[in-house]
Amino acid sequence: MNYILLLLTASPLVGFLVILFLKEDHKSAIRWTALLTSLATFGLSLALLPGFDAQNPDLQYALRIPWLQVGGADISLSLGVDGISLMMVLLTTFLTPLALLSTWEAITDKVRGFNIFFLLLEVGMLGVFLAQDLVLFYIFWEFTLIPMYFLIGIWGGARRIYAAVKFFLFTMFGSVLMLLAILYLGLAAGTFNLPQLAEQRALFAGAQLWLYLAFAAAFAIKVPLWPLHSWLPDAHVEAPTAGSVILAGVLLKMGTYGFLRFNLPLFPEAAVQTAPYLAILAVIGIIYGAFVAFRQPDVKKLVAYSSVSHLGFVMLGIAALTPQALAGSVLQMVNHGLSTGALFLIVGMLYERRHTRAMADFGGIWKVVPVMGGLMLITALSSAGLPGLNGFVGEFTILLGSFISPVLNSPWFAGVATIGVILAAVYLLVMFEKVFMGPLKHDENRALKDITARELLTVVPVLLVVLWIGLYPQPFFNLINPSVERLAELVQTAALAIH
């Protein structure tokens, strides 16, 4: 029996236990413990790659330990990884140490509690991406709410309590619907094991559409899909920088991952039936998010609304249900985590120096902070989808797959979504121009310090991966393609059965 996934999921708990026994005033020891623990977890995730068969779409490193029986249904500690979940695991373990490193000067109060919650959050996120039992998945899904609630509510901005409660209530509402659907599935099939449920779809075929919608409600709120997005800007703006990085980089991807991991294999006929409606909401989100982002005077809020727009592309790819679009969606989940994570890191650096995020309070600062300005330009262009950087690869593949999608049966979805690519370039470049270009408008900005060595260590690794994906994405597609091709084949069979 292979225990590496269990070890990977539990590894942040080692740092958690050590920090519990450290005194609050040992801030340096606490920070180093959390950072080294997260780096060790990243190393464990990399250890999955040598033994991972990229051509095999099945779950690998699978572990299943019987846990308990409820109402005749088996619940097990079941973990597994395929190409889709491996990408999410690597994204999580890559961003976590970088986010922690960004807090060394930004978080000076209650350092012990902050790092404890951050490591617990990593446990929950890894569990979500590795769980192959619906009850286990739900436990991890709900568990992530708790540390994120406290990270926003204790270390956030002036309206942190409002933002934390709103985040918690929105997500909890969708989760209740998903829990009811999980209970129905388990009692109908006698198991909560995901692969077994996928094989026994006929047992709940009559309720498939309602079950799909129950799961979709939880996942759409988490993405967030328009019009269920209103919790996101508040959470992003009020969260500390590291919280925003993980919220945008990983937690939002739990929603899109849920559609791929649960909705498509369990309810393929319902996925085909609802695809055009899902695509309509995705395209509206792309355009709406871009327009609202353009109108924001607060640079952090601009980046927050850009997530609504960019994740609309991911949802469009999922709705298209072609291998190209699904592969593009998975890659774009990674791309968004990298680009938006880097944007939040740099915005956080500016806030630590000036204690303002209003674009009107900057202007012309590239003269003062040239290195930071150069890194911000690369990050903004990657988010805008410039060819040669990561965003272009994901968006192009999604648009290609959506254009030829037999389920959507219309090129207009891809055509309208393309406008979002243009709008992204507009609001991101306007933001860069207002903050970094032109004359130096305010005397307070003349003394700004350029990026430090520690800050470089948080941003440069992200931008190296941005360039890698932009210039040579094939290794990533090699990991993703077998799993999404199986999903596409499944839903295409369902589409033929319907028609």
Q: Within 10 Å of residue 346's Cβ, how many Cβ atoms?
A: 24
> CB of 114 within 8 A of CB of 57?
no
- Section 391-409 average pLDDT: 88
Residue 333: band (very low, low, confident or very high) from pLDDT cuts 50, 70, 90: very high
Q: What's the average model confidence in pLDDT over 357-370?
A: 86
* pLDDT value of residue 208: 87
| pLDDT at residue 188 greater than cutoff 90 | no
Distance CA 436, CA 285 (A): 28
Could you tell me which residues come within 8 angstroms of residue 30 by beta carbon, excluding any fewer than 6 positions away? 19, 22, 111, 112, 115
DSSP 9-51: HHTHHHHHHHHHTS-TT-HHHHHHHHHHHHHHHHHHHHTTTTT
| Residue among 121, 74, 79 at smallest CA distance from 99 | 121
Taking Cα atoms as reference points, which of 406, 433, 386 lies closest to residue 494?
406
For the entire predicted model, the pTM comes to 0.91
| pLDDT computed for residue 496 by the predictor | 62
pLDDT computed for residue 367 by the predictor = 86
Q: Report percent pLDDT > 90 for the chain.
A: 46
Indicate whether 73 pLDDT > 80: no
- For residue 203, pLDDT over 80 is answered with no
481/485 Cα distance (integer angstroms): 6
**pLDDT above 90 (res 56):** no
**Where do the H-state alpha helices sit in 193-321?**
194-199, 208-222, 231-238, 241-246, 252-258, 264-266, 268-294, 299-320
Q: Give residue limits of the domains in the chain.
A: 267-499
Alpha carbon distance 375, 393 (integer Å): 20
Lowest-pLDDT range of 90-94, 191-195, 419-423: 191-195
Q: Helix axis angle, 160-189 relative to 208-222, nearest 10°? A: 160
Mean local confidence (pLDDT), 468-495:
88
Q: Which residues contact 86 (CB under 8 A, 6 or more apart)?
A: 48, 52, 479
pLDDT higher than threshold 90 for residue 493: no
186/70 Cα distance (integer angstroms): 9
Give the distance from CA 10 to its chain's centroid: 20
Task: State the pLDDT confidence band at 71, using cuts at 50, 70 and 90.
Answer: low
pLDDT at position 461: 95
Residue 110: is its pLDDT beyond 90?
A: no
Q: Could you read off the pLDDT of 256-289 as tens digits, one per residue?
A: 999 999 999 988 888 888 989 999 999 999 999 9
Q: Across the strands, what pairs with 74?
A: 69, 191
pLDDT at 140 over 90: yes
State the pLDDT confidence band at 59, using cuts at 50, 70 and 90: confident
**What is the structure's pLDDT at 331?**
94
Residue 122, both tokens? 């990593």
Which tokens sit at 299? 């640079």
Separation between Cα atoms, residue 439 and residue 126, nearest integer Å = 46
Average pLDDT of the chain is 89
Tell the burial category of 467 from Cβ atoms under 10 Å away from its Cβ (0-12, 13-18, 19+).
middle
Question: Are 318 and 329 spatial neighbours (Cβ–Cβ below 8 Å)?
Answer: yes
pLDDT at 88 over 90: yes
> pLDDT per residue over 232-258, tens digit each?
888 888 888 888 899 888 999 999 999
* Rounded average pLDDT over 197-204: 81
pLDDT tens across 422-474, in order?
Answer: 999 999 999 999 988 888 878 888 888 888 999 999 999 999 999 999 999 99
Better pLDDT: 191 or 315: 315
Residue 343: enclosing H or E segment and its boundaries? helix 323-354
DSSP code for 250: I
In terms of residues, how long is the chain?
Answer: 499
pLDDT classification of 158: cutoffs 50, 70, 90: confident
335 with 392: CB under 8 angstroms? no
pLDDT surpasses 70 at 497: no
Residue 499 has pLDDT above 60, yes or no: no
pLDDT greater than 90 at residue 91: yes
Token duo for residue 391: 């965003």
pLDDT at 317 over 60: yes
Confidence of residue 10 (pLDDT cuts 50, 70, 90): very high
104 φ/ψ sector (left φ>0, alpha ψ -120 to 50, else beta): alpha
Which tops the pLDDT comparison, 228 or 400? 400
Distance CA 370, CA 143 (A): 41
* pLDDT at residue 411 is higher than 90: no
Using the 8-state DSSP alphabet, how is residue 133 labeled?
Answer: B
Torsion angle of the four alpha carbons 371, 372, 377, 379, in this order, in degrees rounded to the nearest 10: 120
pLDDT at 409 over 90: no
Q: What is the reported pLDDT for 498?
A: 61
Largest CA distance in the chain: 71
